[in-house]
Amino acid sequence: MTKQQLRAIARKHGTPVVVIDHDIIRRNYAEFRRHLPKVQAYYAVKANPAPEIVRTLYRAGASFDVASLPEFMLVCENIKGLSPKAQQDFIWDKIIYANPTKPKETLDVLDRYRPLVTYDNVNELDKIKRYAPHAGVVLRLRVPNTGSMVELSSKFGCDAGEAVDLVLAAFRVGLVVEGLSFHVGSQCTNFENFVQALNMAAAVMSESRSRGHALKILDIGGGFPAAYNRHVRPFSALARKINAEIARLFPDDIEIIAEPGRFLVATAATAVSRVIGKAVRDGKTCYYIDDSVYHTYSGIIFDHCQYPVKAFKRGHTEICAVFGQTCDGLDVLSQAEELPDLAIGDLVYSENIGAYSNASSTWFNGFPPAKVVHVNQ
């Protein structure tokens, strides 16, 4: 989107507003498929659960990774034109419930759909057997998350040494282990995490096969880094490493899936806000905008991410602070932004804010989430 287009949308819809460009989503999906042609992309819905995004990615050929029952139903409800039988087949081929811990009530509902679900311990396995015995199961492996922006290995995944025992335990109770999964951590810029994880997965799958159970699916998870800035290495470089390891370690007939979320949607959205206050504190100019870390900028708190605030106006810049609109001291967007002299009412914007941002918006302090405008659907 051009600056002129962004300003026009802000004038029409008011601020704060988040503009999501579906051309960029399709472009990101095409890039993923081009560089990882043997890998089916299961979009991680939690990154941005907008129904419009689900529909765009479904039409592009994506599958879906869900982590809650509402996300599961959201995907089902936005797949139009399928007969009940076709939708049943779709759910098996197109949705994985990748949250390793699930309430029994969720499993009870999922059972009628016979989806793939993940597990990483014997207690979860017993729960699946009791409440969703018709589900296929995928074992989640704990792998290195070193250098990833959001670390996941302390919360999810079984140790490699217990993995095959958990595979055997599933078959003993009458469940079918379809495959193995892992996650190297969100926004993984340390590409060796993928190399180590693939080698660990190959060793587990080899041992499982030697003990009578060949696994047919490998889920390499998410973590594919979005191009937030020039310091993020190209996705093509990561893809070359992944493709080489897959070709070296796994048989040709294995099904490889992945769970990109941030990679597909982060760069597709821009937030536009309005300056609502201005002050000078300790010699530094401070601006207050009509968005906050409780709304579109929630990724600052929850996602360890920064979204530089930029001005439409040109001019000499100085280091400024930018605060959100809530009456809370935590609501700090930045203490060091290069901005020109702005007046109350001027517009500012932040790019690459499509993942884990407005998806986590609240109504804190009574302020509603930003309006979302979808373009190029």
- Cβ neighbours, 10 Å, residue 215: 20
Let me know: does 6 contact 275? Beta carbons within 8 Å: no
Nearest alpha carbon to residue 272 among 15, 4, 5, 24: 15
Question: CB of 226 within 8 A of CB of 232?
Answer: yes
pLDDT in tens, 100-122: 999 999 999 999 888 899 999 99
Which one of the listed residues 76, 158, 305, 327 is annotated catalytic? 327
The CATH H-level superfamily of 22-266 is Alanine racemase (3.20.20.10)
* Gap between the Cα atoms of 35 and 194, Å rounded: 15
Domain boundaries, the chain: 3-18+267-375, 22-266
The two tokens of residue 163 are: 């993995």
Query: 143-160: b or e for each residue (b if 16 or more CB lie within 10 Å)?
Result: bbbeebbbbbbeebbbeb
Distances (CA, A) of 31 to 41, 135, 227, 257: 11, 32, 12, 15
Q: Is 158 a catalytic residue?
A: no
pLDDT tens for the chain, 377 residues long, are 899 999 999 999 999 999 999 999 999 999 999 999 999 999 999 999 999 999 999 999 999 999 999 999 999 888 765 555 555 566 667 899 999 999 999 999 999 888 899 999 999 999 999 999 999 999 999 998 887 888 788 889 999 999 999 999 999 999 999 999 999 999 999 999 999 999 999 999 999 999 999 999 999 999 999 999 988 999 999 999 999 999 999 999 999 999 999 999 999 999 999 999 999 999 999 999 999 999 999 999 999 999 999 999 999 999 999 999 999 999 999 999 999 999 999 999 999 999 999 889 999 999 999 999 999 99
Q: What fold, for 3-18+267-375?
A: Lyase, Ornithine Decarboxylase; Chain A, domain 1 (2.40.37)
Phi and psi, residue 103, nearest 5°: -60, 150
Q: What is the tens place of the pLDDT at every residue in 155-168?
A: 899 999 999 999 99
| pTM score | 0.95
3-18+267-375 against 22-266: fold identical? no
